[in-house]
Amino acid sequence: MDPAPASAAVDSADDTPATPPKGLSGALTRFRIMAFTTGVVLAFMTCIGMPYKFITQETTTWYSLGWMAHGWLYIAYVAVTLDLVFRLRWHLGRALLILLAGTVPFMSFVAEYYVTKRVRPMLAAAAVQAPSVQH
C-alpha cells in the first residue's frame, strides 16, 4: 500500500469536526461581517488617520472616535471569532492567529479568506447530505 502524501497527512490530522456543528453558517456570516468591518476601520485609521495626525500635529474628534470604534469592533471580532473557533473545535494556535489578525492592518481580510475557504466546503457537504424538505 502506498503511503499517503504529506498533504493528505496534514488534512487528516485536521481537528475540524466531520459534520458541521449547528449554527455554523450564522457563525461564519457574523465572523465575515466583523472581520471586514474591523479591517476597514483599522486600515482607514492606519492609512488615513495616522498620517493626518502626524502631518497636522493635532488630534481631532474623528481621529479619537475612529480608534475607539476600532477597539469596540475588535472586541466584537474577538467574540464572534471565539464563537466560530469553539464551534469548529480548532486548536489554540489557529484561534490566536485569527484573533491577532484583527490587530494588524489588512490581516483580518486574509483571516476571513482563510476561514471562509476552510468552512464553506463543510457547509456545502452538509447541504448535500441533508435531505431537502419540500411541502
Eight-class DSSP state of 52? H
For 21-60, where are the alpha helices, taking DSSP H only?
24-44, 50-56
Q: How many CA atoms lie within 13 A of 130 on its CB side?
A: 12
User: Are 126 and 20 within 8 A, CB to CB?
Assistant: yes
Quick one: which of 97, 82, 102 has its CA closest to 30?
A: 82
Answer yes or no: are the C-beta atoms of 42 and 102 closer than 8 Å: yes
- Assessment of whether the complete model's pTM goes beyond 0.85: no
The number of residues in the chain equals 135
DSSP state of 21: P
Q: SS3 for 94-127, per residue?
A: HHHHHHHHHHCCCHHHHHHHHHHHHHHHHHHHHH
For residue range 29-54, what is the model confidence (pLDDT) as tens digits? 999 999 999 999 999 999 999 999 99
**Average confidence (pLDDT) over 55-74:** 93
Average pLDDT over the chain, rounded to an integer = 85
What would the pLDDT profile of 77-129 be if each residue is shown by its tens digit? Answer: 999 999 999 999 999 999 999 999 999 999 999 999 999 999 999 888 877 77
Say which amino acid occupies 90.
W
20 close to 123: Cβ distance less than 8 angstroms: yes
Cell of 13: 490530522
